[in-house]
Amino acid sequence: MRRPIIAGNWKMYKTIQDAVDIAVALKRKFYTFSEADIIIGPPFTALAKVHDVIIDSSIMLAAQDMYWEAEGAFTGEISPMMLKDAGCRYVIIGHSERRHIFGETDEEVNKKVRAVLKHGMVPIICVGEKLDERDNGMMFEVLEKQLSRGLKDMAAEDVMRIVIAYEPVWAIGTGRTATPQQAQEAHEFIRNYIERLYGKETASKIRIQYGGSVKPGNIAQLMAQEDIDGALVGGASLDVNSFVEIINNAVL
């Protein structure tokens, strides 16, 4: 049985004070919550302060991106050591906004994923097809390419520890969620692909989140699918009440 994992990606929103206020409210609700892993991903500026709030609770901290070198002359970048120091347990890697707005490649995703693991954190590696790719029947091809390149040269023991987020680009921030069946089809493909490459045990243990317009009203149906183990929530994680409802509905 895979443990449900619900993560909030706050993207480029919230001041430090706003982030702390949300963290305080979430901590009040989920101080000791054992039914799922709850993760919040504030912007870099708020990580350390949010960590101070959630440190003694069951809520865990994620960063939204990272550079792969431990330190050095890389102006503007944030390293795995710095994220660990700020209290991060997870790092979101290869989000579609990184790939499509900032031109991040699968090769860079691979370097980042490996660096996250090397520094003892867990990568949430995002994959997903664009609308034209789906319409042209290329969904599986795109997913396979992103996974094979993103996970290149990684051992099964490492792959077992990562989290994959399937996020169809056409469903992100659009209000257009994949149907539970569409999401399950992609998740099943991803799990089968992991099984082919890394074996049955890895495939049965790896957690795969769905992301793309997840809301309190659609999370339960998504979670009811066999291969959907959680959600990576954007917009709806910015509001305490909707994120709380999503978490509660996810484990009904």
Instruction: List, by residue number, the catalytic residues.
Output: 95, 167
Among 213, 218, 242, 249, which residue interacts with ligand PGA (rule: CB under 6 A)?
A: 213
Q: 157-186: which residues touch ligand PGA (CB under 6 A)?
A: 167, 172-173
230 binds ligand PGA (CB under 6 A): no
Q: Give the C-alpha separation, 237 to 194, whole Å.
A: 29
Q: Are 185 and 227 in contact, with CB atoms under 8 Å apart?
A: no
Q: Give the C-alpha separation, 203 to 72, whole Å.
A: 36
Give the end-to-end CA distance of the chain in Å, rounded to a whole number: 16
Of the listed pieces 19-27, 71-79, 101-109, 226-234, which binds ligand PGA according to CB under 6 A?
226-234
Q: Give the C-alpha separation, 117 to 68, whole Å.
A: 10
216 binds ligand PGA (CB under 6 A): no
Q: Looking at beta carbons, which residue is closest to ligand PGA?
A: 234
* Nearest-approach distance from CB 9 to ligand PGA, in angstroms: 4
> CA-based angle 5:9:13, to the nearest 5?
155
91 binds ligand PGA (CB under 6 A): no
Q: Give the C-alpha separation, 80 to 64, whole Å.
A: 12
42 binds ligand PGA (CB under 6 A): no
Among 219, 233, 246, 250, which residue interacts with ligand PGA (rule: CB under 6 A)?
A: 233
* Nearest-approach distance from CB 177 to ligand PGA, in angstroms: 8
Among 39, 93, 163, 232, which residue interacts with ligand PGA (rule: CB under 6 A)?
A: 232
235 binds ligand PGA (CB under 6 A): yes
Q: Are 47 and 88 in contact, with CB atoms under 8 Å apart?
A: yes
* Nearest-approach distance from CB 100 to ligand PGA, in angstroms: 11
8 binds ligand PGA (CB under 6 A): no
CB environment 108-144: b (16+ within 10 A), e (fewer): bbbbbbbbbbebebbbbbbbbbbeebbeeeebeebbe
Among 168, 212, 216, 230, which residue interacts with ligand PGA (rule: CB under 6 A)?
A: 212
Q: Are 207 and 163 in contact, with CB atoms under 8 Å apart?
A: yes
64 binds ligand PGA (CB under 6 A): no
Q: Are 53 and 23 in contact, with CB atoms under 8 Å apart?
A: yes
Residues that bind ligand PGA (CB under 6 A): 9, 167, 172-173, 211-214, 232-236
